Structure 1
Amino acid sequence: MSIRKENESWSQVLLDKVVFITGAGGSIGSVICHTCAMHGAKVVVSDINKKAADKVVVDILETQNEQSDRIMSLELDIVNEQAIEQAVEQVVDQWGTIHVLVNAAAIFTWGSIEDISADDWLHILNVNVRGCALIVKHVVPLLKQQRSGSIIQFGSISGVNGQASFVPYGTTKAAVIQMTRNLAVDLGPFNIRCNSISPGCIKTPVTAQVADFKNLTMDECFQQRSEVQCLKRIGTPQEIANLVVFLASDLCSFITGANLLADGGYTTV
């Protein structure tokens, strides 16, 4: 995973925008935090794992010579509505508002319909769907008040294409994609843009879990996926983070309700 270190080499397309990122301690979330900071944003690094969030902040400060008052670390469980309210209040107290919400927090549960318990369904729906909706609920009043903003949610190719033994995860990601479309309709009159990103096979620890689930080595998993998509390689977290910056910025001020597939052409073939 390669992250540029010289702020001078990046345009400041997010200058002074407050970007709130959930799941920020993860392999993709952490790179999103780094990249938003490089583009001038004030970054809220939120994660259920406070140590992971704190590490992201330390890494940003060390690698970018960033000012500590432009990065905030929060412990946040997105299924806890009271915790969400408190987190939003803390950000507003610090920086006055929120301009961009990036909903990257998610859990991964795979299996066929016979394998998944009622508790499994409750847990993944609670995090991947209800959790996303709750944090949007508490950020939207700020965006409405300023009559601008960008909400970026994470779908997946699993929410677009049918995949063997991916029933619960694919179901939740399809729900997030549709939630985002509905939000775009409701919030468009307030100049709030709502888009989703659906990554394909990205080089992260989750890919290792998928390989395990399919009884494949990592190399076998990468080769298998690469062979069936237009670009014959696996994606990187940095490529996803770059797309987040685009959607968060004014460079795409006329894009809303879109589900952008970052999958190397997997869903095209």
Structure 2
Amino acid sequence: MRRVILALLGLVWLLPTYLLVVNAFRPATAYDPAKAWVPSGHIAIWGNVVKAWHKADLGGGLGSTLLYSTVSPAIALVFAALAGYGIVVLRIRGGFWWFMLIFGGMTIPNQMILVPLFVRYSDANLYDHRLGMIIIYTAISVPLAAFVMRNFFTGVAFSIFEAARMDGASTLRIFWQIYLPLSRSALAAIFILEFTFVWNDLLLGLTLTQSPTVRPVMTALAALQNDVYAGTPIPIGLAAGLVVSLPTVVLFLATQRLFAKGLTLGQA
């Protein structure tokens, strides 16, 4: 009975995906809301993708988003690992309060910082600049990464650090050559989460970017969806959504075992 319920819930969860795929493959001029559930029998996805690609300039958005979603999480992981290492292993003074300060960044909704962030970015000439987007995505990615890395390092025996110190290794060398390799799976899991968050972000892209070469792909997709209401055929908009969603889907499917392993490491 449990499997039947889970199967039914899975089908319900997949219904939007089914509608997206079926209508993205439909010819642009053949969309009928009354027949949205029925496959058209045509494969017009490539033409729809080409039209969406040129209309919304998805190429520039995908390139920028790929840059943001790889560089920012990578930098955040380094800062988070150093924070976890300092708090748990080096046992710096006031480590708990430092951790609470870093983790407190997760408790502030992004909507609350949009206005001051926009003003300060404009003053610092970071508005509509790729460097500015990398900075803000890095800052937002650090708290969750620091939380996971602190928990992971808590599960690593402190005797490893003591033994390395007795052998004459510096604290920085111990971090780079022992603790980072040990936390490889945890780092990979965090990177996947942060990559997905940055890739799917719309709010910061709408607020801090404007030009097609800087704005994230979700911002370009949102602009295309607005054009759908102005006359762009729905299959074209759905084809664009399908293309934009594929990288995160492929990433999760390719790394699901590593992702699950990384989240369970270090747990008591």
TM, length-normalised to structure 2: 0.26
Q: Which has the higher contact order (CA 8 A, sep 6+)?
A: 2
Relative to its length, the structure with more helix (as a share) is: 2
